Amino acid sequence: MQFFLEVLINGLLSGVMYALVALGFVLVYKASGVFNFAQGAMVYLAALSVVSCMEKGAPLWLAIILAFIIMTLFGIATEKFVLRKLVNQPPITLFMATIGLAFFIEGLAPIMFGSEPRALDLGIVDEPIAAILDSWDMVISKFDLVAAGVAALLVTTLALFFQYTRIGRALRAVADDHQAALSIGIPLQHIWAIVWGIAGFVALVAGMMWGARNGVQFALTFTALKALPVLIIGGFTSVPGAIVGGLIIGASEKLAEIYLPPVMQSMFGGNFGGIEGWFPYVLALFFLLVRPEGLFGEKHIDRV
């Protein structure tokens, strides 16, 4: 039972890390109706910006500010050069544009900042909390707890921003209908630049946490792989949904990785494992069958 709890808690904490990446997708989708395929690449760019600024002598706080400026400028440039000409185009066109954007960033970022993997030290050691280890013989990482705190703060801030600020409401209006939002005087260009800037900020937070955990390198772009099942489960338009989806994926994949292989081995023989790679997608598929809009997503109803 104790081991089960240890796996469950660690899975939930891993889920928070997935949710951090998924949040960026939700933001752009919520405010522009676009599935931003480039979010993983943005996580990579943001983390690379931080380490590169630090390598040039900037302290961590300054590097974060500079990286935020880079990501904001990137957001504005995306709006100006990629999205502006695609207003009122079908969502698939915008989606295709983000695929192109992902390849562009994946090529540009290493040219600008170098491609060698680097360490990012945030001053939080990823090791077990001694008190919990001694009292309950359970491994709970300090770093994972900090990541959970950061995610909680980020979600609260974003939820409040969308609910109670003028810009937040404008963002939601734009997502519902570009044309209608334009007709009542909402400046679409500014709104898109803002939302891509915020998505850049979320990518920066996710990039810093993932970069500090596994090193800053090209593989950060892979973090987006786990965000997709998280979004399907939580819903593409819900900020709390990203967190809940992340927790479900994190906990279930860790439990599956530990407890399914022995069952499969007794049934089929051989050596099983590496279930984490496909289990989240099977789970997401199941959700698509029973609740296609996700747990917290908006139900889409078309008039006929």
Partner 1 sequence: MSKYRKSALTAAVSIALLSQGAFAAEEQFFPIVSYRIGPYGANGQSFFGGFVDYLNYVNLKENGINGVKITWEECETEYNNAKGIECYERMKDKAKLSTGPIHPMSTGISYALIDKTAADKIPMAMVGYGRTDAVDGSVFPYAFPLVTTYQMQASAIIRFIKEKEKGSLEGKKIVFLYHDSAYGKEPIVALQEEAKLNKFELTLIPVAHPGNEQGAQWLKIRQEKPDYVIFWGWGVMNQTAIKAAQKVGFPRDRMIGSWWAGSEEDTVPAGDAAKGYMSATWNVAGKDVPLIADIEKVVYGAGKGNLGDTSKIGTILYNRGVSAAVLSVEAIRKAQEKYGEGKAMSGEQVRWGLENLNITDARLKEIGATNLLPEIKTSCDNHEGSGKIKIQQWDGEKWVVVSDWIEGNKTLIHPLFKISAQQYAKEKGITPRDCAKEM
What residue ranges bind partner 1 (CB under 8 A)?
3, 6-7, 10-11, 14, 107, 110, 114-119, 121, 125-128, 133, 139, 141, 143, 210, 213-219, 221-223, 226, 253-254, 257-258, 271-278
Nearer to partner 1, 187 or 273 (CB): 273
Closest CA to 223 of 232, 233, 213: 213
Q: Are 53 and 31 in contact (CB under 8 A)?
A: no
- Among positive and negative, which fits the CA dihedral 32, 34, 35, 40? negative
Minimum separation from the CB atom of position 304 to partner 1 (A) = 43
Least Å from the CB of residue 163 to partner 1: 32
In the chain, the amino acid numbered 301 is I
Output the smallest distance, CB 121 to partner 1, in A. Answer: 6
As measured in angstroms, the least distance from the Cβ of 118 to partner 1 is 6
Smallest distance from partner 1 to CB 244, Å: 19
Query: Which string of DSSP letters, residue by residue, matches 26-42?
Result: HHHHHHHS---TTHHHH
Question: Phi first, then psi: what are they for 128, rounded to 5°?
Answer: -65, 150
Q: CA distances (Å), 184 to each of 77, 88, 136, 169, 177, in order?
A: 25, 16, 59, 13, 11
Q: Which is nearer to partner 1, 115 or 165 (CB)?
A: 115
Q: Which is nearer to partner 1, 137 or 176 (CB)?
A: 137
- Shortest distance, position 142 Cβ to partner 1, whole Å: 9
- Amino acid identity of residue 117, one-letter, is P
Of 127 and 177, the one with the shorter C-beta distance to partner 1 is: 127
Partner residues linked to 128 by β-bridges: 141
Closer CB to partner 1, 135 or 183, in the complex:
135
Question: For 236, phi and psi rounded to 5 degrees?
Answer: -70, -15
Nearer to partner 1, 117 or 240 (CB): 117
What is the C-alpha to C-alpha distance for residues 217 and 237, in angstroms, rounded to an integer?
29
